[in-house]
Amino acid sequence: MADESEKITKEELIEKAKKPGKDAMKLHPFYRGKVEISPKCVIRDLNDFGIWYTPGVAEPCRDIAKNPEKVFEHTNKANFVAVISDGTRVLGLGDIGPHAGLPVMEGKALLFKYLGGVDAFPIMINTKDPDELIQAVKWITPTFGGINLEDISSPKCFYILDRLRNEVEIPVWHDDQQGTAAITLAGVINGLKIVGKDMKDALFSVIGTGAANVCLIRTLIKAGVPARNIIAVDSKGILHPERGDIETLKEKNPYKYDIAMKTNGEGRQGGIAEAMKDTDVCIAASKPGPGTIKKEWAAGMNDDAVMIAAANPVPEIWPWEAKEAGVRIFGTGRSDFPNQVNNSLGFPGIFRGTLDVMAKTITDEMHIAAAYAIAEVAERKGLSEEYIVPTMDDWEVFPYEATAVAMKAIEQGIARKKLSRQEIYENAERIIKKAREQTKHLMKEGFIPPPPE
């Protein structure tokens, strides 16, 4: 009878996991998108258009022409972010193209605004050529204070990011790389804290070596994890220097080649099962499940193991299967399970801090600072096996990590504005609170209608 009860519970959980998708199919066409443009200046009467548009607008235009830096004073450039994608690697859906990827980028823009007070624009680029995409981004940078690259396939995403960071004068960031690395590191920090293990001594299995985990591996090493303690797996097995395709990797994917040469101190070979055996932490960002990670492979991990299965829309293994296998701390990228280790906790606050000090780039050290800030907020609220990182309801995490990021930018000498810690925090808090209150007001007054029954 207990088995039957357990079976029903699992079926109910699976049905719950399907609900967001069902609701999305009702509400996306109802609202016809998630974001729109609204004014931020006074419009007392039609005479004000003479200030905001012609003839008055000519004066700030002349001022900017004489001193280009004045664009940050006269316009909203410092708070504009472009969310750029070609639709070639959307969530767990793969190459679905620029039109089909637009709902995701709109959702990203919504999170930017509500959680970080950032005015973000979804921009889909209709090309798969990385050089054409780079050129398109360079053409539009005069409008924006930052660029968020999103859902671009690997390995070209690394090339695109590297070139743009070198060739434009505003921060360019790839959320699937740095954003995922930041929030995952926060989850690892607190997960290991709960089980009483030191990050420098823990053995890591990393499943999947796309954009997310390539950057994560680099981040873990910079955060103090010895490279030899990381065992990485791609679709062909564990990365190691003796692999038959190592020369091909060297030529076509130098990022993955570098991982093969530097990690896996034990020289392990095989697949996911062999990589996970006797490890303390497993981080998966690979093929959506369930079944990508089998229950018996999870059972082969060390006692008090930490696992983050980040594939969307379905994690590589269901939470209850991992728990039954003996995993103690388990997180996913989903909001309907405990421990949502999701980029939404990172990029709004990280960009808020970056924009507020007008940083010239976003360094690895900045997103690592964000990770420790995220972890600290959760720890202050009280860690548990089902609470290793804050939730999106813990809105104080965003101004807190914004402050950590901005202070790191100032420390590294890449901030155009130097503010005190208190000034940064109060400014971020004010902007984020305003965005949330505006949304609540629009809902209360009916300008955002309630969803249909």
For the stretch 123-133, pLDDT in tens is 999 999 999 99
pLDDT tens string 208-265: 998 899 999 999 999 999 999 999 999 999 999 999 999 999 998 999 999 999 999 9
Give yes or no for residue 24 having a pLDDT over 50: yes
Amino acid at the residue 341: V
Give yes or no for residue 199 having a pLDDT over 90: yes
Answer yes or no: are the C-beta atoms of 68 and 77 closer than 8 Å.
no
Give yes or no for residue 2 having a pLDDT over 90: no
> 4: pLDDT confidence band, cut at 50, 70 and 90?
very low
In 200-312, DSSP assigns E strands to 204-207, 230-234, 237-238, 281-284, 306-309
What is the DSSP code (8-state) at residue 340? B
> 9: pLDDT confidence band, cut at 50, 70 and 90?
low
Q: What is the pLDDT of residue 171?
A: 97
Average pLDDT of the chain? 94
Q: What is the pLDDT of residue 240?
A: 96
Give yes or no for residue 453 having a pLDDT over 90: no
pLDDT tens string 80-125: 999 999 999 997 788 999 999 999 999 999 999 999 999 999 999 9
pTM of the model: 0.92
Query: Where in the sequence of the chain do the CATH 3.40.50.10380 domains occur?
Result: 26-176
Which token pair is 97?
């193209």
Q: What is the pLDDT of residue 8?
A: 55
Gap between the Cα atoms of 421 and 231, Å rounded: 39
Q: What is the fold of 26-176?
A: Rossmann fold (3.40.50)
Going from the C-alpha of 392 to that of each of 28, 299, 399, the distances in angstroms are 21, 31, 12
Gap between the Cα atoms of 60 and 77, Å rounded: 14
Instruction: Give Cα 145 distance to the centre of its chain.
Output: 18
Active-site residue among 108, 193, 197, 408?
108
Q: What is the pLDDT of residue 379?
A: 97
pLDDT tens string 360-416: 999 999 999 999 999 999 999 999 999 999 998 999 999 999 999 999 999 999 999
Q: How many helices (H) and strands (E) does the chain have?
A: 18, 10
Query: Where in the sequence of the chain do the CATH 3.40.50.720 domains occur?
Result: 178-332
CATH fourth-level superfamily of 178-332: NAD(P)-binding Rossmann-like Domain (3.40.50.720)
Give yes or no for residue 1 having a pLDDT over 60: no
Active-site residue among 53, 200, 236, 434?
53
Gap between the Cα atoms of 258 and 199, Å rounded: 22
pLDDT tens string 335-352: 889 999 999 999 999 999
The answer to whether residue 53 is catalytic is yes
> 7: pLDDT confidence band, cut at 50, 70 and 90?
low
Q: What is the pLDDT of residue 11?
A: 75
Give yes or no for residue 273 having a pLDDT over 70: yes
The answer to whether residue 108 is catalytic is yes
Going from the C-alpha of 151 to that of each of 42, 154, 260, 299, 401, the distances in angstroms are 37, 9, 24, 32, 24
Gap between the Cα atoms of 27 and 390, Å rounded: 27
